[in-house]
Structure 1
């Protein structure tokens, strides 16, 4: 799956990693619902770090469509809330 981190580019991520990412996504949702700003920031960073470490970067000139778009590291609670679907940032 091609994943884009806003402002950073794309990574090719194997489907086998999505269970781990979904766990972080669930934590992020709970922190957002509870208004836990520091927890939100920490978990967002962990989610993005996981995508960076588990995914292979695509060349900057690649024009692959992104199947999943994640917020930039400096996104606010409100920014991320606007990107949410029923299942969070990551479907499944």
Structure 2
């Protein structure tokens, strides 16, 4: 799976990492649901760090469509809320 972090680049993520990323995604959703800015910032940072850690940078010269698009690290709670689907930023 190819995951793009806006403003940063793409990462190749193994399917085996998706369960952990979904847990991190749920924390982002919960923080937004609670309108908790501090928890939101921490959860978004942890989610993006999780992608960076679990993933391998996708070749810059490859032109491949991303399977998922995640917000940038400096995205606002409102911007991320607009990106959420029924099952969060990461389906599953």
TM-score, structure 1 as length reference: 0.97
CA distance in 2, matches of 1:80, 1:52: 18
- Quick one: distance in 1 between partners of 2:23 and 2:32? 14
Match of 2:38 in 1: 38
Number of aligned positions between the proteins: 92
Of 67-76 and 56-65, deviating more is 56-65
Q: Superposed, which structure 2 residues align to 1:11-50 within 5 Å?
A: 11-50=11-50
Give the equivalent residue in structure 1 for 2:61: 61
- Find the counterpart in structure 1 of residue 74 from structure 2: 74
Q: List gaps (5 residues or longer) in structure 1.
A: none
Q: Look up the SS of the partner of 1:39 in the other structure.
A: helix
Give the TM-score, by structure 2 length.
0.97
Distance 1:24 1:58 in 2: 21
Kindly report the root-mean-square deviation, in angstroms, between the aligned alpha carbons of the 2 structures. 0.6
Instruction: Provide structure 2 residue ranges, at least 5 long, that are not aligned to the other structure.
Output: none
Rounded Cα–Cα distance in structure 2 between residues aligned with 1:16 and 1:59: 21
Q: For residue 45 of structure 1, give the secondary structure of its aligned residue in structure 2.
A: helix
Identify the residue that residue 88 of structure 1 maps to in structure 2: 88
